[in-house]
Structure 1
Amino acid sequence: MKLFRKIFVFLALMVLLQNSCRNDYKHPVPDVYVDLLVNINTHYELQNVNGFIYKNDYGFNGIVIFRYSLNEFMAFDRACPHHPYEYDCRIEVKEPPLAIDECCSSRYLLLDGSVVDGPSKHPLKQYRTFFDAERNYLQITN
């Protein structure tokens, strides 16, 4: 009987631990399909570290592409996570590497998308970047 109880307790703990490991986080900015290829040679702004451009026809509310280092780029959706459905409110880069949403005054760090200050509780929605230094092309996907 004691062996049965120990096995039951062990199995119950395993089920509880397995369910507690799930990642149920859902970013407030909706998922949209993104597959964008950018030729760095045609964008002077991206040829230097801390340079940035906007691609407003991609992502949920546009994408900001930021050159983090010589071989690293960051790409974030321009929708503010604090109020993603207010389409007139987009994050803007004022002083790289900081971006701000003028509507709610949330400020974000473009090095990782984290909130610097303001009411937003969520980081910027980040997209994957793949840089081909040989061809000088940047691919952005989700």
Structure 2
Amino acid sequence: MRWYSKICICFWVFLLCCTSCSKNTIERNPYIPNSPVNYQLNLRLPSNNALNFAGGGLLINDIGLNGVLVFNLNGNSFLAWEATCPNHSLESCSALKLEGVLAVCSCESYQYSLATGQLLNPSQENNTPYNLLFYQIQKTGDVIYISN
């Protein structure tokens, strides 16, 4: 009886281990190629003044593919997004424009929330819409470091 119970326990542990494992695959957006980003943004500069207030946003043109959108979420937390529409291939109209708390695509007028990166007005043709591409942010004093 003792031998049988040890085999049963081993079998159940093995079965539990096999069924609890899952593959965590991350689907990379096929429309946005990887572009290295490593940028410092000084909040004391007058050109970056919009980021000193909650809800303020700024488009930085000289990094990423079409620039990076930086958003002050609540006065202390910042978010950075690639300024390229993630729901179609790269075109001349795929650069996003900053409109208040939204990023807007010139091609299809897609609107994205700068607070969440989510597409707010998906089209019926787009069955699997992509959200904005997120960049990491670290704030040290009055300097924001943006990277991927």
TM-score above 0.5: yes
For the pair 1:76 / 2:84, whether they are aligned, the reply is: no
Q: Which has the higher strand share?
A: 1
Secondary structure of 1:116's counterpart equals: coil
Aligned equivalents of 1:109 and 1:48: distance in 2?
A: 17
Q: Which runs of 4 or more aligned residues in structure 1 lie more than 4 Å from their structure 2 counterparts after TM superposition? A: 9-17
Letter matched to residue 27 of structure 1? N
From the CA coordinates, give the structure whose radius of gyration is larger. 2
Aligned equivalents of 2:89 and 2:61: distance in 1?
A: 15
For the pair 1:31 / 2:37, whether they are aligned, the reply is: no
Aligned equivalents of 2:40 and 2:120: distance in 1?
A: 29
Q: Indicate if the aligned counterparts of 1:104 and 1:118 stay in contact, CA closer than 8 A.
A: no
Cα deviation 1:88-118 (Å, max 9, x = unaligned): 3211122x22221121121111001011113
* Aligned residue-pair number: 135
Shift of residue 17, structure 1, vs aligned partner: 5.6
- Normalization by structure 1: what TM-score? 0.80
For the pair 1:98 / 2:106, whether they are aligned, the reply is: no
Long gaps (5+) in structure 2: 1-6
Long gaps (5+) in structure 1: none
2:117 corresponds to: 113
Letter matched to residue 139 of structure 2? F
Letter matched to residue 108 of structure 1? Y
Aligned equivalents of 2:52 and 2:38: distance in 1?
A: 21
- Normalization by structure 2: what TM-score? 0.77
- Indicate the percent of aligned positions where both proteins have the same amino acid: 24
Letter matched to residue 24 of structure 2? R
